[in-house]
Amino acid sequence: MTTLLSARDIRAMAAELQLRPTKQRGQNFVIDPNTVRMIVSAAGLSEPCTVAEVGPGLGSLTLGLLDAGHHVIAVEIDELLASRLPRTVAERCGDDAPFDLVVADALRVTELPESPELGPPAALVANLPYNVAVPVLLHFLETFPTIRTVLVMVQAEVADRLAAEPGSRTYGVPSVKARWYGTVSRAGSIGTNVFWPAPNVDSGLVRIERHADGRRTGGDPAGADPVSGNPAGADPAGADPAGGDPAGGDGAGDQRGSDGAHRGAPSRESVFAAIDAAFAQRRKTLRAALSGWAGSPARAEEILRAAGIDPRARGEVLDIDDYVALAAAKETV
């Protein structure tokens, strides 16, 4: 059994590296082994698999995932932290631990190593840097369709927004876009006292199970030919924590053309454009809010009625299927 990192271990390594955690990169390190075990358990991965981890930091969660038998692919942007992590893994888990390190901006990563035994990443389990949590989450769901299960720790407010139901006050752009990929649920709450340095707000766990039939993915569910692009706002210091939309990728459908695009369903881009337009003026009716997107209020009403949506409704009451119908109607009416 792997000895996980304690508060004393974390502080000793930080002193060794002369590390000063920065808010710019959302660096708050988990210092409680029991919290690490709880996160790993909440992921619900019953069998060993390849797990992507974004922002491993000093390795608290990395060691917990390795202890559970998973092959961990860690993506770390901070070169100082990345320089220490392989040694931490070797010291605690051995030189032959199933571990790969990618030193890169997570928002620019379009390829990840594969485990020789377990294949490409099947899960994303991470304590996401708070300032880029939603953009990173959406980027990985779009770029790596082999990821079927997600368990991420984010700010409690962001967790509430991601898992919010239509009609609630916290329901918004991140809520709908996450539902494009799968079923979203809250999986727990975590207080500030298990971090160093302690953040100002509590954290929450969010679990996403990708749609079983593979619809609404950026590529083949089996992992072939994932669609990716060069996402905007890739700098963690400048990304929008409220849920900026990573570029690249098409939507779900029944068939794929020779160019890799799906036919018979609206693209991800067109669906997300409708979502962004509806929530840009969330106090307005959809007829008014979508007038720019559609070309005019009258045209917006025509599209809404074709999609079976009341033009007097507001964007916060629509589920993802409504936005898919809306984007489809715009293409056909």
Q: What is the pLDDT of residue 214?
A: 56
- How far apart, in whole angstroms, are the C-alpha atoms of residue 231 and residue 89? 31
With a threshold of 0.95, does the pTM exceed it?
Answer: no
Report whether pLDDT(172) > 60: yes
Domains of the chain: 7-210 (3.40.50.150), 262-332 (1.10.8.100)
- The C-alpha angle 200, 203, 204, rounded to 5 degrees, equals 160
Tell me the percentage of the chain whose pLDDT exceeds 70. Answer: 83
**Mean pLDDT value across residues 280-299:** 97
Q: What is the mean pLDDT of residues 216-231?
A: 36
pLDDT for the residue 133? 96
pLDDT of residue 269: 97
Least confident of 19-28, 156-165, 224-233: 224-233
What is the predicted pLDDT for the residue at 20?
A: 86
Q: How confident is the model at residue 27 (pLDDT cuts 50, 70, 90)?
A: confident
Contacts 24+ apart (CB under 8 A), 181-184: 181/138, 181/141, 181/142, 181/208, 181/210, 181/211, 181/216, 181/217, 182/141, 182/150, 182/208, 182/209, 182/210, 182/211, 183/208, 183/209, 183/211, 184/208
Tell me how far apart the alpha carbons of residues 32 and 71 are, in angstroms, rounded to a whole number.
22
pLDDT above 90: residue 235: no
